[in-house]
Amino acid sequence: MHRYANPARFLKIARVATPIVALLGLALTAAGLWIGLFNSPPDYQQGESVRIMYVHVPAAWLGAGGYLSLAIASATALIWRHPLATIAARAIAPAGAAFTAICLVSGALWGKPTWGTYWVWDARLTSMLVLLFLYLGYLALSASEAEKGGEGRAAAILALVGVINLPIIKYSVEWWNTLHQGSSISVVNASSKIAPELLTPLLLSVAGFSFLFAAIVLMRMRAMLAQQRIEARSRRLAEALA
């Protein structure tokens, strides 16, 4: 891992990987949403509204999964001080916040025809809203630290503290009586309660959204590394002129 923490080596790999990852993401997302909208059957209970699942579930997984990767990057930055770890964390945060927001909005739009309401202070919905606030808090704190030339330690600690919310999100539907349904897919047991006709477009969308998330993170990391090069060059020029 230390080998790839070198920004020059990372950039060499990222320049090749970015278009491939982005195109894979676009193709898989288009395939998943197309099949989900036009070639998959309606659910026997929910009817047509089940099609919102193909955007809601991938967004929810990436909102939570993104936060886990933000926390891992923050821990790496705090413990090993990898030069890329803080940049990776800062690149993950806006993408994770956007996917969490998409999950909340699409969930509210799914809730209206299914439950008869856009919002309830249900444990799953509330913990996802807390996740969005954690992302926003991280973004505000890291922007403030970056402005003052800090290393982002306070933001990294906030990211680590916020990890406590992830098991709460996951088990909220088991620990409390919630309006939100329980999980239909288990990664641990590799099992699913969803019919294959509905599962195929869902897995395609999840894969597509994941590649798009990775492409956004790679592009943001490249932008931040370029910004660092500009600042370093400007500093050297100013020192030479002084």
| Residue 186, SS3 per DSSP | strand
222 lies in the site for another protein, by CB under 8 A: yes
60 lies in the site for another protein, by CB under 8 A: no
Whether residue 165 contacts residue 130, with contact meaning beta carbons closer than 8 Å, is answered with yes
List all residues 6 or more positions away from 73 whose beta carbon is below 8 Å from its beta carbon.
85, 86, 88, 89, 92, 159
From the CB of 123, what's the least distance to another protein, in Å?
Answer: 22
Nearer to another protein, 174 or 197 (CB): 197
Nearer to another protein, 158 or 221 (CB): 221
120 lies in the site for another protein, by CB under 8 A: no
Whether residue 58 contacts residue 102, with contact meaning beta carbons closer than 8 Å, is answered with no
Nearer to another protein, 95 or 141 (CB): 95
230 lies in the site for another protein, by CB under 8 A: yes
Q: For residue 192, what are the β-bridge partners?
A: 185
Phi and psi at 47, nearest 5°, equal: 70, -140
CB crowding 132-160: b at 16 or more within 10 Å, else e: bebbebbbebbeebbeeeeebeebbebbe
37 lies in the site for another protein, by CB under 8 A: yes
Query: Which one of 10, 110, 135, 211 is in contact with another protein (CB under 8 A)?
Result: 110
Kindly list the distances between the CA atom of residue 163 and the CA atoms of 12, 56, 89, 168, in Å, as whole numbers in the listed order.
Answer: 32, 21, 14, 9
57 lies in the site for another protein, by CB under 8 A: no
73 lies in the site for another protein, by CB under 8 A: no
From the CB of 44, what's the least distance to another protein, in Å?
Answer: 15
Residue 93: both structure tokens together: 């945060």
Contact footprint for another protein (CB under 8 A): 22, 29, 33, 37-38, 47-49, 51-52, 55-56, 59, 94-95, 98, 101-102, 105-106, 109-110, 112-113, 209, 212, 215-216, 219-220, 222-224, 226-227, 229-230, 233-234, 237
